Amino acid sequence: MPKVGMEPLRRKALIDAAVLAIGERGSLDVTMSEIATRAGVSAALAHHYFGGKDDLLEATMRHILRELGRDSVAALAGVSDPLGRVSAVIAVNFAHSQFRRETIAAWLAFYVEAQRSAPMRRLLRVYTRRLHSNLMSGLRELLPEREAERTAEGIAALIDGLYIRRALVDGAPDAASAVALVEDYLETRLARETART
């Protein structure tokens, strides 16, 4: 008989194992058995909790998005000035919980999977809308609407691009230089608008 309360712990262990397995492989080409072994459970139990690999991968993406959402809320709490809000959104996307080798590989694998999987595509749309909304919460007060929209799009593209570039190099991710690069872009956009007015 299964122990009461073990299901959430095992589900979390399987999700964490999926992130690590995807990170090592650099793709979604991992098996439920590999993930289950990493999590210390049987493949049958992994199938019991998630049905199939696609269900586990979707749950893993949802978990990463929940973590990012939670971190974003915490980063934005109490930040009232618009520039501070935009900077907080940029920084949280390069926080250690997101910008580490395994999670970067998982994000890239999910982007690729979204080309064929409607559920993954929906999840990535949720992410892009949330990022856009969080950026616009500060940018609207700093720039005219059209320029705010363009700047939010540029920042999002830089974040995605830095994840891709990070996946192609060896060594530990350098979050500070990534944040500095995006902040430089933001500063340039703001200076350009100031020069116009």
Torsional sign, CA 154, 76, 136, 119: positive
Residue bearing tokens 């616009």: 136
Task: Kindly tell me if the per-residue pLDDT of 193 is higher than 50.
Answer: yes
pLDDT of residue 182: 97
pLDDT in tens, 158-189: 999 999 888 777 777 889 999 999 999 999 99
Task: Kindly tell me if the per-residue pLDDT of 197 is higher than 90.
Answer: no
pLDDT in tens, 53-91: 889 888 999 999 999 999 999 999 989 999 999 999 999
The CA distance from 64 to 12, in Å, is 11
Q: 14: closest CA among 70, 56, 69?
A: 56
Joined tokens for residue 81: 């000035």
Work out the number of other CB atoms within 10 angstroms of the CB of residue 43: 14
Residue bearing tokens 């690729």: 112
Joined tokens for residue 44: 């049958």
The CA distance from 65 to 10, in Å, is 19
Query: Which residues does 61 contact at the CB level (< 8 Å), separation at least 6?
Result: 106, 110, 120, 123
Rounded to two decimals, what is the model's pTM? 0.86
Contact 105, 22 (CB under 8 A): yes
Contact 156, 180 (CB under 8 A): no
Residues for the chain: how many in total? 197
The CA distance from 186 to 167, in Å, is 24
Contact 131, 89 (CB under 8 A): yes
Rounded average pLDDT over 41-58: 89
Joined tokens for residue 2: 């299964």
Distances (CA, A) of 35 to 9, 13, 38, 51, 189: 15, 9, 5, 13, 44
pLDDT of residue 3: 61
pLDDT of residue 1: 41
Which CATH topology does 6-196 take? Tetracycline Repressor; domain 2 (1.10.357)
Q: How far is CA 135 from the centre of its chain?
A: 15
129 or 106: which leads in pLDDT: 129
Helices (H) and strands (E) in the chain, counts: 9, 0
